[in-house]
Structure formats: structure tokens, C-alpha cells
Amino acid sequence: MNSGENSFAPPMPQTREGHGNLRAFALPLGVAVFASYLLFALLPRARALTTALFYVSLALALWRGHLLERRWGYGSGRRRFPGTLFLGITWAVLGWSLLWAGLLIAFAHARTWHWLGGWRDGPILLTLTLGLFHLAQGVRLRVGRSVCVGGVLCLLGVLIPGVQALREHINLATAFLAGGTLILSGCARQGNLRRQDRTPRASEKEG
């Protein structure tokens, strides 16, 4: 784990191997969520096209995140780690998160909340799944910033369908709030890396 990360405890071995680098995926995923749900809002009648573009953008975002993670790992001297996407625990946690998000959606249906104006299962399920995933991985790897991002996304997963003004514009709200949260997290990560890169160079010049 890089020195820029907030942690609850000393790094665990898998974190040192680069497996806690969730924010390598935050920026590309944030861009994918923002662009996809903006298209859902702007092109409501082209549902088949926007849905296809959504899944393509998610796949591209995961691949881009994988490439970023490998580049950061190599840059910090970690040449031997499979990457987050190739760890079984990643998909186990994702499945766990999707299960609980689905149960929450089912509870909302049982309470007939889905009849409220503007309600859509898709954006709520996505926001809750991403939130629970970041929260679970942050707790498991003891990475404070991932816990914070997960907590914000889980809160948005409740606020977006719960606040009428957000629910009636649910695609735009998901694009700007959920996508924006991930983009800000990813930008903060890259900013930390740039500062870490500049620090050794400044030290070399002073030496």
C-alpha cells in the first residue's frame, strides 16, 4: 500500500502486493458511470443502444483500471502481482455486494417503494453494489479511503431513490453523484501519485 493511503492498521501482505489499489479502477469506472447514465438521461428512447454502450463502457473501464494498476505496481517496484481482477476474492466480494444490494432492492419492492415516481432498479442496484464493494474491500484490506468512498456510495444509494427531486431525475443524479464520487476518488489517487513522483525528484536535485 502506498504511503498516500489512509489505513486503520499496518499494511497487510496482500495490500503491499498492490491488491488494495481500488482507486486504479475508480476514475475509469466513474467516467463509465457518468457517461452511461448521462446517455440514459439524454436518450431515453434508445434503450437498447444505451444499455449496450453501458456494458461496453464498464468492460473498458475495468480493463483500463487493470492497466493503471499494473503501471502503478511496476512504478513502485511491485513486478509480481496478478492484479485485482485476477483475484478470486475480488469476485467473491463483488458477488456478496451484488447479493446484498439485490436483497435491498427486493425489500424496497416488498414495501412497494418502486411505485414511486422516477424509481428505477438499475441505477440504485449499481450504486449500492459499488458502495458495498468498496466498503467491504476497504474494511478487509484496512484502507480508510476505500471505506469512505464505499460509505458515500451507499449513502447515495439511499438518498437518490429517497429524495423526490433526485429520484425523478434518477439517471442524471446517478451520473453526477455516483459517477462524480468515483471520479473524484480516482483523481485524488492520481494526484497523490504525482506528488509522490515529484518528491523523490526534488530530493535528488537537492542532493
Averaged pLDDT of the chain: 83
Q: pLDDT tens across 107-159, in order?
A: 999 999 999 999 999 999 999 999 999 999 999 988 888 999 999 999 999 99
The Cα–Cα gap between 154 and 26 comes to: 15
Interatomic CA distance for residues 181 and 177, integer angstroms: 6
> Which residues have a Cβ under 8 Å from the Cβ of 14 and sit 6 or more positions away?
20, 141
Q: What share of the chain is helix, strand, coil (3-state, %, to 5)?
A: 80, 0, 20
* pLDDT (0 to 100) of residue 126: 97
- In this predicted structure, what is the pLDDT of residue 68? 84
Q: How many CB atoms lie within 10 A of CB 201?
A: 9
Residue 145's pLDDT is what?
87
The pTM for the full model equals: 0.81
